[in-house]
Structure 1
Amino acid sequence: MAFVRTTTGGARYASPGELYRDLPRRPGAVPGLWAHQSEMLKAFASKHNEPDMALELPTGTGKTLTGLLIAEWTRHSRRARVVYACPTQQLARQVADAAHREGIDTALLIGSHTTWPVSAHTAYEAANAIAITTYSTIFNSNPQLTEADLILFDDAHAGEQYVGEAYSVEIDRRDAHTDYQAVLNVISPAFDGRYRDRLLSAKPDPGIGTDVRLVVPLRQTNMVEALDEVLGRFSPPQSYRYSMIRSGLASCLVYVAYSSILIRPYIPPTHQNRLFSGARQRIYLSATLGEGGELERAFGRTGILRLKQPDESTAPRYGRRFFVFPDFVEDADSIELSQEIVAEAGKALILAPQTETAMNTAKEVAQAEWPVWGIDQVSEGMSAFAELDYGTCGLAARYDGLDLPGKACQLVGLKGIPGQDNLQEKFLQSRVRAGAALASRVRTRVVQGAGRCTRGPGDTAVVLVLGSDLSRYLTRPEVTAALDSELQAELRFGRENSQHGTRSDVLSNIQAFLHQDTEEEWRTQAEPTLADYRREMLQKMPAGTSALSSCVENEIQAWEAAAVARWSDAAHHAHEVARLAGSGGLATKGYRAFWTYLEAVWSDQAADQNGDTIGRATAQSLVQESEEIMGLGSWIRQMAPFPTMERFKLNAIDALAVQAIATQLEGGVNQGKMRRKIEEIKTGLQQSDPRQYEPALTKLGELVGATASKPTSNGRCDSTWCWGNELWLALEAKSDHKPTGVVSHRDIRQANDQLRLLANDCNVDVAPPDSATIIITPKPGIHNDGIIAAESHVHVVSPPKIASLALDVETVWNSLLTQSSHKAAPAMRQLVSEVLHTHGVLPSQIHERLTYDPVVSLDR
């Protein structure tokens, strides 16, 4: 017979934790709440009326259950509609399954609203079930969910990717060539003619493939209107995306690369979304909240209250990871070693920023007979991969939401720094040098990716750090110091055992780690060391973090004002952002310059509308100020001038190079000899033998207008490029280094001296400002002692970066040799200036290219 009950008023619960005891749990439910979950739920209950609240629970520590209990408690106690949003449909299904096991009623509403089950949709609207959905259901041009009392965002640390994407139009050149060309035609007046020709070329030249430029349509005559006309003709799904930003198109920025074009506001105008902004409360569940305002920028909300773990001692350990850096193992082939390590583990999940990189790496490390899977095989979940005996799986940008606990997979490989997922991130990182504003986002992706195979406190997994870029990134003090003490200890232990071990040592350590349940070596030797390291490690936020945090409220207000064309208000808030960013010193210098330029843009627009000539002059001075803040070779010099402004004139450093090359052309250049010289340079730079590499460096310096030479005195660098007393570059070529291991402390000490020695040789007291020492090495990392000892002028580049510069120089000279005949002096200098500037080989631009990777931490 059916169970009988009498009617009651319904229980009321003081907190979500109290509600948990009465849930009708099913088989597979968790046996009980951890202490840290109970504490977090109590902390939430004490602040439950805050409009925006963020809860920090590290990966593998029960974040989903905590969120579900808050959602169910709110639905139950307020008799209100609640939405639980996930980044992807796969994650939404996982949350719905977890809720089912815990006895929580949900309505899974994913995909097109036309396919939603009527019963599920009705249950949500009646507040009888929690709606489980995706970010894209909320952030679209016409949300189909009825307004909610509460919206929870799971994995909110990934919010920028999914929210920002909703307010973006990205046009891929290969997949939408006609649309790309149409947009490029509209924005091309913002570029000089030579750069425009490079973008329009059917085949990219060597230097343009990695270049990203910024266009601000607002201050280009009639560009906003022309862009609207083109974008308005787009078909779905692009037309849906465009409808999200159309009303605020004048506030959007356009990022341009040869491969694609991205149009978006810097901060998404989520205040215009009725479902999001109309909720009584928004809760953000995150593995890390960040300290620099990252969450606020991602969701366009100010005043988010952060609830961190009340007592760290109650949080469970989230599994043990053994980091291995194959590139750091001296004299070992990193690919072969990676293959052997993966063979020991039996399976590998490979994560990378791009699909091609992920799949190629998954194939590279797999054994010949193993299956290699991609997103097509695991789009519904990872259970099928977990059941394989052997295999690899390569996935792009899936640093969240993949669960491979226990013995399902005991190795995750990370390839590439996940810090340039779109053109805006790439521009901020590579051109603006505003890495501090992206630092938390990048760190979180790495940390989340590393935890995909350690979902519980008893799980163990090898984390294979693949490629020199990521290996080098995870040695930076400002990166590692910002991590929790457990992870800092694991990284230190992994680096040391890779740097100081042989191939045989590493493989022996892998075996000890993977068999620690039956053998004692790991427990008796590694674990005590890790415990000691953990107690030594202190978490420290990177330089500039507090400055960035203080900026974020004005940033959001600036973009809210710009979205509705309140240009004076936007400029006022931009001014405050730049002022506050200034307190971050070197770490936030690029970010300060970026916002000073935005202030100039909006000030000029406001002055134009009001006929304010003084205001326009102020805007022009702000552009100059932003360029001065940014320094040599800045992106600001490449920006199209405002309607009443002229393009920047050459600075003194670049003028020296232009004069030197123009004089050489005017005196006559033997084209055959010049082309042979270029071939000699290219050939020499492909060699590891210093006797061939170093002379090629000096010849390359001559072709960019420098006084280039090989110093003869003992202890000097291998080539110097000097542009008068304006800028010096001292190049230390380590072409004979093997591409394994790390640059030694001794090499760093030697590099520290080079500018002082060069100044002494030139009979001056000190080198010119901004001069730098460049170590050219194929090694993927720097010894820890070298990082500590390095002076601020010491940078590292890989040989391919120098080879890329040489290819651009070749293109420049080929152009000059074919166009320079019979030109008078002024026309010759104009030609040289334009060609060098377009290809990024003016001295200031070379300085920017070669000083991207300082050895020293910005914290110093």
Structure 2
Amino acid sequence: MWSLSIQRNDHEHATLHEALSNLFQPLLDATDFGRLTGEIDDNLADAAWVEKLPTPAFAPIAAEFVGIVDQHVGPIEDLRYTWRLLRDNLHACHVYLTPQQIYVRPLIPPTWTHTPFTAARQRIYMSATLGEGGDLERLTGRQNITRLPVPPGWDRQGIGRRFFIFPEMTLDSDETDELRQTLMQRVPRSVFLVPNDRTKDEVVREARSLGITTFDATAIEESKAGFVTATGAAAVFANRYDGIDFPGDECRLLFLDGLPRTTNPQERFFVAKMGANALLQGRIQTRVVQAVGRCTRSLQDYSAVVVTGSELTDYLNSPARLSFLHPELQAELDFGARQSTSVSIADLVENFDIFLRNDAAWEAVNRQILAKRDTATQATPSGVGQLQAVVTAEINYQRNLWQKHYEGAVENAGQVLAALTDPSLQGYRALWNYLAGAAAAYGEGAGVGGMSARARIHFAAARDAAGAIRWLASLARYRAELPTVSTENHALQGQIERLETMLLKLGTKHEARFAQREKTILDGLNSADTTQFEIAHKDLGEMLGFDAGHHESDASPDPWWTSGKYCLVFEDHSGADPKSSLGADKARQTTGHPKWMKANTTITHVTEHTEILSVLVTPVKRAEAGAFPHLSDVALWPLADFRVWAREALNVVRQLRRTMGDECNLAWRAEAQAAFEEKGYDAAGLIRSLAGSNAAKGLKK
């Protein structure tokens, strides 16, 4: 209701999206602008990208923003109403950017402005999973919600029985696909919960190829009759984890793919850019619990739950996170994980059949789950009490900001900050220092006395509270009194963020995907096949957190690695005879790579300010006389040394992976940054190191 989502790929929104993108272009670097407009979609980091326009950057262009939206929104029915609610309150909203949308919303929904909320004498929220730490209050903008206690005994006993299957703990991707197709065809109906429309479309295509009829959320909401009476049917929902139930015989097989970590860009920004994991931990857990319970709605219900996606598999097998779940769910997950380890497809199918028969054989197994349940205890996450304690002040902050009472908003933010002392809330504390600074900055613009100093203090505190958060460092671009972060550190922070994204995608609790990726890179770098070498070289860059690219065209370089304003562009001469000499043509081609990079910015995304070093990777030790004039600005990386370096670098990544926790874990980011700086894996450090190995001096005549 208070969220304006302007979709790039919606034909009705496209012109508005383009106009706003052009408005934002001066505030974004070339890579981020390309991601916003869809011109850049090369890798995982691009797809997962989220950005927030800082308040000091958005405030000066807010009037232009209003003018553009006013001109375009008239015929767009699904935007008009929300725009009327937000138009005069943009000072109390935030603008988020993703590859799919421009998203505008307030921090907390201002339900006090909506008569059905304010005029109601009583509000009842019905759910068995309301969440903790003030989460329901933040979602609804209401204070003082009274929660009914759990009935005696239900703190241990769950509803129904789930049999969890984790195929990716043992099977490769092809085997996982085979298992999924096999299980789908062994039951009359199955349900899929997936994270996005792209995955949903893939599931639908696969199901239909097997002759299975598919139903989407719209069809099910109109009537479940067609689905529950069908044989050979699959209901497929994207980013939908509650509200649709399939009790009894309606469905006995649930596929859950991907961790429902965030459902909108604001949540994504809080987790990925601000390290505010503690805030959303309860919300994520609630979604997971809701998701796994779609087919078990009574004590008699039972359903198999097939879990895929490395993040979700890791989440449901993390001892720390397991301890926060209901004891019965802990026991079910523990049993499922043990049954999914070191098994074949046939083993998993056999166990699935035993579960579905629900006879004496399964009852013996069920007693194991009950025994585990009786010894399990449910813990409370650190910081939950403080999050609950500050929620009233947070809502008051949003209310005062909405009413342009900036002094009151800054005071409310101070109340929040005074109570957020738990170490796990470091990222959330940094966020609230930023929000306090944003309110003070608006107060400064409105002429409220003393607000300039408050803005300066809080913005500085935000940056100091979490030094590993790159986004906060960018505030210095908009507040002259804040010291700027070095370009080297900014590039390293970006590198670590991309490394984190890669490791989360590969999974941190189970070895298979990471080990396969590692092996593929090392095999490629040791291969005599030059194409395999170049692919592995690019993949190595991605594993080290670089924006790595490769483009096949006339005179184009081999892989390039970029981060921030630094770029290494390579000429892979790996197939050369070590006894041969480097020719003048190869030298001329290598020294021309930086020019090619800057002449093809739509491909490379470098700018005129990018520092580019051309690097020759070769086994040869000599060069022809005509080559030397072209090698004065080229770095030499002997092939044998490069291979040793790659093995050592991947080993450091492996070690960092062992200590990795949640996304945007600030302590881990600091550890990773320190390790990369020490080893010289950061972009600036690597350029310095390689620049000292000049090809003109390193090769003999």
Tell me the TM-score normalized by structure 1: 0.58
The Cα of 1:252 is off from its aligned counterpart by 0.6
2:125 alignment partner, SS class: strand
Equivalent runs, 1:486-525 vs 2, <5 Å: 486-516=328-358, 519-524=359-364
Cα deviation digits, residues 320-374 of structure 1 (max 9, x gap): 1101111112568111122222333332110112233124235436772322333
Match of residue 531 from structure 2: none
Match of residue 70 from structure 1: none
Say if 2:322 is the partner of 1:480.
yes
Q: 2:382 aligns with which of 521, 543, 546?
A: 543
Task: Say whether the 8 Å CA contact 1:413–1:464 is kept in structure 2.
Answer: yes
In structure 2, give the amino acid aligned to 1:173. R
Match of residue 323 from structure 1: 164
Q: 1:197 to 1:493 in 2, by over 3 A?
A: closer
Q: 1:190 to 1:401 in 2, by over 3 A?
A: same
- Where does structure 1 lack aligned partners over 5 or more consecutive residues? 1-165, 659-684, 697-718, 720-734, 736-775, 777-798, 822-827, 836-846
Task: Say whether the 8 Å CA contact 2:165–2:304 is kept in structure 1.
Answer: yes
Task: Say whether the 8 Å CA contact 2:274–2:469 is kept in structure 1.
Answer: no
Match of residue 62 from structure 1: none
- Where does structure 2 lack aligned partners over 5 or more consecutive residues? 495-515, 528-536, 551-559, 570-592, 600-605, 614-651, 669-701
Say if 2:98 is the partner of 1:257.
yes
Match of residue 356 from structure 1: 198
2:609 alignment partner, SS class: helix
Q: 1:636 aligns with which of 469, 472, 486?
A: 472
In structure 2, give the amino acid aligned to 1:832. T
Q: 1:542 to 1:506 in 2, by over 3 A?
A: same
Cα deviation digits, residues 683-741 of structure 1 (max 9, x gap): xx978356446789xxxxxxxxxxxxxxxxxxxxxx9xxxxxxxxxxxxxxx9xxxxxx
In structure 2, give the amino acid aligned to 1:806. A
Cα deviation digits, residues 37-79 of structure 1 (max 9, x gap): xxxxxxxxxxxxxxxxxxxxxxxxxxxxxxxxxxxxxxxxxxx
Q: 1:445 aligns with which of 282, 287, 291?
A: 287
Say if 2:338 is the partner of 1:596.
no
Cα deviation digits, residues 568-591 of structure 1 (max 9, x gap): 21112112223322x221x22111
Match of residue 528 from structure 1: 367
Match of residue 553 from structure 1: 392
Q: 1:631 to 1:371 in 2, by over 3 A?
A: same
Q: 1:833 to 1:640 in 2, by over 3 A?
A: farther
Match of residue 232 from structure 2: 390
Q: 1:269 aligns with which of 103, 110, 117?
A: 110
Task: Say whether the 8 Å CA contact 1:339–1:366 is kept in structure 2.
Answer: no
Aligned residues: 549
The Cα of 1:449 is off from its aligned counterpart by 1.9
Q: 1:209 aligns with which of 37, 47, 55?
A: 47
Match of residue 143 from structure 2: 302
Tell me the TM-score normalized by structure 2: 0.70
Match of residue 741 from structure 1: none
Task: Say whether the 8 Å CA contact 1:217–1:223 is kept in structure 2.
Answer: no
Task: Say whether the 8 Å CA contact 1:198–1:205 is kept in structure 2.
Answer: no
Q: 1:807 to 1:228 in 2, by over 3 A?
A: same
The Cα of 1:204 is off from its aligned counterpart by 4.0
Match of residue 576 from structure 2: none
Q: 1:169 to 1:378 in 2, by over 3 A?
A: same
CA distance in 2, matches of 1:655, 1:465: 36
In structure 1, give the amino acid aligned to 2:228. A
Match of residue 64 from structure 2: 226
Match of residue 806 from structure 1: 548
1:253 alignment partner, SS class: strand
Cα deviation digits, residues 752-782 of structure 1 (max 9, x gap): xxxxxxxxxxxxxxxxxxxxxxxx9xxxxxx
Task: Say whether the 8 Å CA contact 1:323–1:462 is kept in structure 2.
Answer: yes
The Cα of 1:804 is off from its aligned counterpart by 6.9
The Cα of 1:493 is off from its aligned counterpart by 0.8
Give 1 or 2: higher helix fraction. Answer: 2
Task: Say whether the 8 Å CA contact 1:322–1:463 is kept in structure 2.
Answer: yes
CA distance in 2, matches of 1:450, 1:655: 40
Q: 2:241 aligns with which of 399, 415, 424?
A: 399
Q: 1:569 aligns with which of 408, 425, 430?
A: 408
Cα deviation digits, residues 592-651 of structure 1 (max 9, x gap): 111111111122232343375x64244234223212222225211234743655672317
Cα deviation digits, residues 107-140 of structure 1 (max 9, x gap): xxxxxxxxxxxxxxxxxxxxxxxxxxxxxxxxxx
Percent identical pairs in the alignment equals: 27
Q: 2:257 aligns with which of 412, 415, 419?
A: 415
Q: 1:853 to 1:622 in 2, by over 3 A?
A: farther
The Cα of 1:497 is off from its aligned counterpart by 0.9
Q: 1:363 to 1:573 in 2, by over 3 A?
A: same
CA distance in 2, matches of 1:481, 1:617: 44
Equivalent runs, 1:424-463 vs 2, <5 Å: 424-463=266-305
The Cα of 1:168 is off from its aligned counterpart by 0.9
The Cα of 1:440 is off from its aligned counterpart by 1.9
Task: Say whether the 8 Å CA contact 1:413–1:463 is kept in structure 2.
Answer: yes
Q: CA RMSD in A?
A: 3.8
Higher deviation after alignment, 381-390 or 363-372: 363-372
Q: 2:446 aligns with which of 589, 609, 627?
A: 609
Task: Say whether the 8 Å CA contact 1:221–1:643 is kept in structure 2.
Answer: no
Task: Say whether the 8 Å CA contact 2:156–2:328 is kept in structure 1.
Answer: no
Q: 1:542 to 1:429 in 2, by over 3 A?
A: same
The Cα of 1:563 is off from its aligned counterpart by 0.6
CA distance in 1, matches of 2:39, 2:275: 30
The Cα of 1:231 is off from its aligned counterpart by 2.4
CA distance in 2, matches of 1:373, 1:655: 46
CA distance in 1, matches of 2:417, 2:254: 40
Match of residue 238 from structure 1: 79
Task: Say whether the 8 Å CA contact 1:191–1:640 is kept in structure 2.
Answer: no
Q: 1:360 to 1:802 in 2, by over 3 A?
A: farther
CA distance in 1, matches of 2:598, 2:116: 61
Q: 1:579 to 1:452 in 2, by over 3 A?
A: same
CA distance in 2, matches of 1:831, 1:495: 51
Match of residue 770 from structure 1: none
Q: 1:852 to 1:168 in 2, by over 3 A?
A: farther
Task: Say whether the 8 Å CA contact 2:55–2:438 is kept in structure 1.
Answer: no
Cα deviation digits, residues 262-289 of structure 1 (max 9, x gap): 0010101111112211222222112212
Q: 2:27 aligns with which of 183, 186, 190?
A: 190
1:344 alignment partner, SS class: coil
Q: 1:455 to 1:606 in 2, by over 3 A?
A: same
Higher deviation after alignment, 254-263 or 208-217: 208-217
Match of residue 341 from structure 1: 183
Q: 1:237 to 1:502 in 2, by over 3 A?
A: closer
Task: Say whether the 8 Å CA contact 1:218–1:224 is kept in structure 2.
Answer: no
1:312 alignment partner, SS class: coil
2:338 alignment partner, SS class: helix
CA distance in 2, matches of 1:194, 1:470: 29
Task: Say whether the 8 Å CA contact 1:350–1:395 is kept in structure 2.
Answer: yes
Q: 1:201 to 1:489 in 2, by over 3 A?
A: closer
Equivalent runs, 1:51-90 vs 2, <5 Å: none
Q: 1:271 to 1:695 in 2, by over 3 A?
A: farther
CA distance in 2, matches of 1:509, 1:225: 62
Task: Say whether the 8 Å CA contact 2:456–2:482 is kept in structure 1.
Answer: no
Match of residue 8 from structure 2: 173
Q: 1:196 to 1:412 in 2, by over 3 A?
A: closer
CA distance in 1, matches of 2:226, 2:59: 56
Say if 2:490 is the partner of 1:649.
no
